[in-house]
């Protein structure tokens, strides 16, 4: 297993839709292990393959929601949600991202989500939840569609994020951080 560098906003690999996984082999299993290890080292709730520069449609998640731990992976996911909110998100409803290190913005998400896909052995799986788990499922499938959570921001939050990206000079590809080696951008 290996901890992989996490790409930062501005890298075009984060905005390129993922490709369907067709090879279910030991390399895939090892890669999923790397995603888990990288996510753990980064103190993340989830990590998509394109966040470490891999184009395949895979994500892992590992989070605690209402004292219950949710941990798993989904390959070739499809997402279903309850209706998305149509108003400004609550200012305390903050979302972060390992590819937008150290930043959090209010982000409206559906309260319920289900992801259907397969596991590393190509067996069908389905994961559904509410609250934090639902947010994570939506966030990670957004990554695989080539979207950062910043794309979902509205109004003043959207403007603030655009200014932050310019200020941090995240407009060029190639920026990354390595969990466990670089300073933890979230201060955990």
pLDDT over 90, % of the chain = 82
In angstroms, the Cα distances linking 148 to 35, 53, 59, 126, 151 are 18, 14, 14, 23, 6
Q: Comparing C-alpha atoms, which of 150, 170, 137 is closest to residue 6?
A: 170
97 labeled part of a ligand binding site: yes
- Fold for 6-177, please state it: Peptide Deformylase (3.90.45)
Q: What is the pLDDT of residues 5-28, one digit of tens each?
A: 999 999 999 999 999 999 999 999
CB atoms within 10 A of CB 131: 13
Residue extents of the structural domains in the chain: 6-177
Which residue of the set 37, 95, 103, 140 is catalytic? 140
pLDDT at 116: 98
Alpha helices in 17-176 (DSSP H): 26-41, 131-144, 155-168
Contact assessment for residue 101 and residue 86, using Cβ atoms and an 8 Å cutoff: no
CA dist., res. 121 & res. 87, Å (int):
41
Q: Comparing C-alpha atoms, which of 46, 23, 5 is closest to residue 142?
A: 46
pLDDT at 88: 79
pLDDT at 173 over 90: no
* 140 catalytic residue (yes or no): yes
Lookup: tokens for 171: 């407009």
pLDDT over 70, % of the chain = 99
The reported pTM is 0.94
């Amino acid at each position: 297993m290996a901890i992989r560098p996490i790409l930062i906003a501005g890298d075009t690999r984060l905005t390129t839709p993922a490709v369907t996984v067709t090879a279910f082999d030991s390399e895939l299993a090892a890669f999923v292990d790397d995603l888990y290890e990288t996510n753990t080292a980064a103190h993340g709730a989830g990590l998509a393959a394109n966040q470490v520069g891999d184009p395949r449609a895979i994500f892992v998640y590992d989070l605690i929601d209402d004292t219950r731990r949710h941990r798993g992976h989904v390959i070739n996911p499809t997402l279903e949600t309850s209706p998305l909110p149509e108003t400004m998100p609550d200012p305390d409803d903050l979302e972060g991202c390992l590819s937008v290190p150290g930043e959090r913005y209010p982000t409206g998400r559906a309260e319920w989500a289900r992801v259907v896909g397969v596991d590393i052995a190509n067996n069908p799986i389905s994961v559904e939840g509410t609250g934090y788990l639902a947010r994570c499922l939506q966030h990670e499938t957004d990554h695989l569609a080539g979207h950062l959570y910043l794309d979902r921001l509205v109004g003043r939050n959207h403007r603030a994020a655009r200014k932050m990206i310019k200020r941090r000079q995240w407009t060029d590809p190639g920026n990354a951080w390595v969990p466990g080696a670089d300073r933890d951008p979230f201060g955990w």
